[in-house]
Amino acid sequence: MVDKKKYIVAADCGTTGSKAVVYDITGKPVGSGYQEYGLEFPQSGWVDQDAKMLFDTLLSVVSRAVKAADILPSDAAAICLSTQRCTLICVDQDGNPLRKAISWQDNRTDQQCELIRQRIGADRFYDTTGLPIANVWTLPKIMWVQENEPDLYEKTYKFVNVQAYLNRLLGAEYFYDDFSNASLHGLMSLTRMEWIDDFIQTMDIDSSKLPQLVGSGQQIGVLNNAIADKLGLTAGTPIISGGGDQQCAAVGSNVIEEGDCEVTLGTAGVTICSLNEPRLDPERTIPCLVHAVDGKWTCEGLQNAAGASLKWLRNVLQEGQPEGNIVDYDYMTGLASKSTIGANGITFLPYLAGAAAPLWDSSARGILFGMGLMTNLSDVARAVLEGISFETASILENFARREIKVSKIRVSGGGAKSALWGQLQADIYGVPLQRLLVDDATILGAAVLGAFGIGIYDSVDEAAGAMVHTTTEYQPNMGHHKKYIEKREIFDKLYTSIKSGGLF
């Protein structure tokens, strides 16, 4: 048993920034560090990222968090990561990236997705992997590299995701891909937790270039001397396998039992529900994934540009502002509070990076509809918040059709910090919404896995029960909910009308 006075160092390497937090074993944060970074857009629909920058930023934010926590280096019991998923990094044997990482947001792989449909079939692909065929997964990205950069494909030692890449550079013994991250590759069996030989052969992928699979919460190595010095930690500190950011968010929200539900509104939005067994969507639109908790699965609805839509609005409003006049999220939610339910007739489709679940339409684009001479910024700001939440409601509706009973939702990420947005979501979903005491559920989830993996707690359930706490609860106004049902019909019809008209 590890000394319970020790701390867990956890970090989340996200799409637009990295944050590290040092937690005590009750889940209390004692020090943190954060740094934003960018994406690259070399062509329309393409999204790249500098993998070396991801690692350098991780080192920076962890060292800041450790310094802010003011703990002894030897007091850190373990380090564990939550990471963005599906982002492909081609590495050599030493873990050096051979090209820019291809982001999960990238949409260059339409041809590869069509080839998967032809060779494997959409139904068989979903029934085996739990995934509808889409650009977001790792397999079509590997296929794109193979077809368009064949020399680089041959030079690649491993095709890894962000978790396996960062852990290896920290000191992991090998390139380990945890089950939760690997379940979004399109090459792992949802039930057997192993690579699917048939799919690998059918799509002509070199299996030796795939990482080794491992469960979350397992020790996979220790920090080496050079890295430990940079982080302000002790060499030999255990590295615990973490999980995909959304599965970690489920752990960090204590969404573990059947029907527990959590909504994360970060750069992307994810609505995730815990399952005791793989329950596939008969419509084959909502993914079924492996949880970061052994013996559990999740159903998950992805929104490509949830928080990113709000960030887009922030950036637009920031343009032309006097120097030093910063537009922040409080300002935008303050604007939204001055509008009314339904945003005075404005409807926003939040498909700035294409539509994910349940539409899976990479050609979809963002729309502001219904503006008139009386429209103001408050209406636009509220329409953006409502549009993001309507997309979430579509996912919850899919869960309900599958007889998954959701009676309460826990919310994390940026969308959890605003009382206005919290109440707005409860009114749209029609169920109570609980805000977590620690909003950074992804990072806290990694800490929970770290505390379990190092032996502070005997199970992930026990660790989550001790480390995850809730605070504010928003009760739905059912009168508002009725109005939002009517507004959602407009939201749905707007997409279908534009799609049927051939404008997407």
Which residues, at least 6 apart from 162, have a Cβ–Cβ distance to it below 8 Å? 13, 51, 54, 83, 84, 85, 87, 89, 101
Both tokens of 165, joined, read: 């890449």
pLDDT of the residue at 79: 98
pLDDT surpasses 60 at 1: no
pLDDT of the residue at 356: 86
As a whole-number percent, the residues of the chain with pLDDT over 90 amount to 82
Q: Which helix (H) or strand (E) holds 245?
A: helix 245-252
Give the mean pLDDT of 282-296. Answer: 92
Spatial CA neighbour of 350 closest among 328, 367, 333: 367
3-state secondary structure of 314: helix
- Residues 382 and 339: beta-carbon distance below 8 Å: yes
pLDDT surpasses 90 at 68: yes
What is the number of helices (H) and of strands (E) in the chain?
17, 21
pLDDT of the residue at 139: 98
CA distance 440 to 27: 11
Q: How confident is the model at residue 462 (pLDDT cuts 50, 70, 90)?
A: very high
CA distance 388 to 393: 9
Which residues, at least 6 apart from 305, have a Cβ–Cβ distance to it below 8 Å? 267, 268, 312, 350, 351, 352, 353, 366
pLDDT of the residue at 297: 96
CA distance 236 to 225: 8
Query: What does the pLDDT look like over 182-223, one tens digit per residue?
Result: 999 999 999 999 999 999 999 999 999 999 999 999 999 999
Q: How confident is the model at residue 3 (pLDDT cuts 50, 70, 90)?
A: low
pLDDT surpasses 60 at 42: yes
Q: How confident is the model at residue 336 (pLDDT cuts 50, 70, 90)?
A: very high
The count of other CB atoms within 10 Å of the CB of residue 358 is 19
Task: Please name the fold of domain 306-397+477-500.
Answer: Nucleotidyltransferase; domain 5 (3.30.420)
pLDDT surpasses 70 at 110: yes
Q: For the chain, what is the mean pLDDT? A: 94
- Residues 316 and 431: beta-carbon distance below 8 Å: no
Both tokens of 327, joined, read: 């537009």
Query: What does the pLDDT look like over 270-282, one tens digit per residue?
Result: 899 999 999 898 8
In 3-state terms, the chain is what percent helix, strand and coil (to 5)?
A: 40, 20, 40
What pTM does this model have?
0.85
3-state secondary structure of 427: helix
Angle between helices 377-401 and 329-337 (to 10 degrees): 90
What are residue 213's DSSP bridge partners? 177
| Domain-wise residue ranges, the chain | 306-397+477-500
Q: How confident is the model at residue 2 (pLDDT cuts 50, 70, 90)?
A: low
pLDDT surpasses 80 at 414: no
The count of other CB atoms within 10 Å of the CB of residue 465 is 15
- Residues 69 and 76: beta-carbon distance below 8 Å: no
CA distance 355 to 304: 7
N- to C-terminal Cα separation, the chain:
57
- Residues 177 and 211: beta-carbon distance below 8 Å: yes
pLDDT of the residue at 281: 87
Spatial CA neighbour of 393 closest among 274, 312, 303: 303
3-state secondary structure of 247: helix
pLDDT of the residue at 431: 92
Both tokens of 451, joined, read: 């505390």
Q: How confident is the model at residue 327 (pLDDT cuts 50, 70, 90)?
A: confident
Both tokens of 334, joined, read: 């303050």
- Residues 368 and 457: beta-carbon distance below 8 Å: no
Give the mean pLDDT of 12-33. Answer: 96
Radius of gyration of the chain (CA): 22
pLDDT of the residue at 364: 94
- Residues 140 and 109: beta-carbon distance below 8 Å: yes
DSSP 17-45: EEEEEEEETTS-EEEEEEEE---B-SSTT
Angle between helices 110-119 and 138-148 (to 10 degrees): 110
Query: What does the pLDDT look like over 123-144, one tens digit per residue?
Result: 999 999 999 998 999 999 999 9
Both tokens of 481, joined, read: 């909910």
Q: Which residue has the higher pLDDT, 45 or 452?
A: 452
pLDDT surpasses 90 at 410: yes
Query: What does the pLDDT look like over 375-406, one tens digit per residue?
Result: 999 999 999 999 999 999 999 998 888 888 88
The full 3-state SS of 373-400, as one line of letters, equals CCCCHHHHHHHHHHHHHHHHHHHHHHHH
- Residues 237 and 227: beta-carbon distance below 8 Å: no
pLDDT of the residue at 405: 84
CA distance 76 to 80: 11
Query: What does the pLDDT look like over 473-484, one tens digit per residue?
Result: 999 999 999 999
Question: Which of these ranges, 9-18, 214-223, 254-263, 319-328, has the smallest mean pLDDT?
Answer: 319-328
